[in-house]
Amino acid sequence: MSTQDGPILIIGTERSGSNLLRLVLDAHARIAVPHPPHFMRYLSGIPYDGDVDAMVGDAMRLLRHHIHPWPHVIDRAAVTGAAGTSLFGVVSAIYDQYRVAEGAARWGCKSTFMVEHVDEVLAELPDARFLWLVRDPRDVAASAKRAVFGHCHPYRMALRWTAEQDLARAALERWGPEVVHLVRYEDLVSEPDREIRAICDFIGEAFEPAMLAHHLGDHARVTASLSASWRTAGDPITTARIGAHRRGLSERERRQVESVTAPAMETLRYPFDGASPAEPAPGPLRVALGGFAVRMAVEARSLCTDRNHFRRWRRDVTVRRLRRRAKPGRAPVPAGESR
């Protein structure tokens, strides 16, 4: 695989426009970016001890119960034969098989949780490139309140956003702008032609006009049809969701988010209320009860509107079973915290 054909990974925090960026990249004739089963997110805590067959088996089980089914059948024996001895080697072999089925030259991954695995990816595939996608954390928190994926409580989402931006910034500082490229959601939707051309320059691809009309493709249509949380995947690029927190967060929630995220917001050029850093943190019980109440409302809405609602439940059951083999002392990832 040449440098130009290395994979492209979107990193950062969920609810930041990663489906939009995935579909923009997928609209390029040379790039294939399926919706991710979040292999590394769910499997990296399991002590495989180099057992490739076990890693492949668990990855294939996740893929079989994926909430956004892939249009191609992945051959388990071929994955086993192509995979290295690491978990990401297995993941790479699965994605590469998808790439071949799509007739593309390179693959991409939009699992933003890969921000935790940048070094592992580069150890396996030194030619990988990362798009650090960042969005105003208040809008991220507002989006998460209505989504079936991620933390529903804005304060918890703010903590995640801060931690993941810190990881992405560290990756940029360690590997440099030739490997990690910062993309601000607000810039992407405000100046899509300019920003997508800059992304193409970074990944070494020629710009294609189809990237500006991602919503017209079959993959966008399918994604939008599966879940209310993905409905905007079928829309053209728009600035309508900039500032969504003004409608989606209360004043107290906004201050709580800013109290956690202010330092990173300043670095990333997001203005905030100077008084917010003094906002006291909500108590754990308030966060737990508030998050639970919102989650129940979101689940009820999903039951009525989402075509993949029961697939998501089956996926979560599968993940819980796999986690029983997690390393002792490693906190498991709560089910449902992915898109």
pTM metric for this prediction: 0.93
Write down the pLDDT at residue 215.
94
Chain mean pLDDT for the chain: 93
82, pLDDT greater than 60? yes
Write down the pLDDT at residue 330.
43
Write down the pLDDT at residue 328.
53
Average pLDDT over residues 209-221: 95
Identify the burial level of 125 via C-beta atoms within 10 angstroms of its C-beta, where 0-12 means exposed, 13-18 middle and 19 or more buried: middle
Tokens of 333: 């990832």
List, as own/partner pairs, every contact residues 261-266 make where C-beta atoms lie below 8 angstroms and the sequence separation is at least 24, other chains included. 261/137, 261/138, 261/158, 261/161, 261/162, 263/162, 264/137, 264/161, 264/162, 264/165, 264/166, 264/169, 265/136, 265/137
Hey, what CATH topology would domain 3-323 get? Answer: Rossmann fold (3.40.50)
Task: Select the more confidently predicted residue: 327 or 290.
Answer: 290
Confidence category of residue 331, pLDDT binned at 50, 70, 90: very low
239, pLDDT greater than 60? yes
| 305: amino acid identity, one letter | T
Write down the pLDDT at residue 326.
60
Per-residue pLDDT of 176-186, as tens digits, reads 999 999 999 99
Q: Which percentage of the chain shows pLDDT scores above 90?
A: 84
H-assigned helices in 1-86: 18-26, 39-43, 52-64, 76-82
329, pLDDT greater than 70? no
Write down the pLDDT at residue 336.
47
Report the alpha-carbon distance of residue 107 to residue 82 in Å, rounded: 16
332, pLDDT greater than 60? no
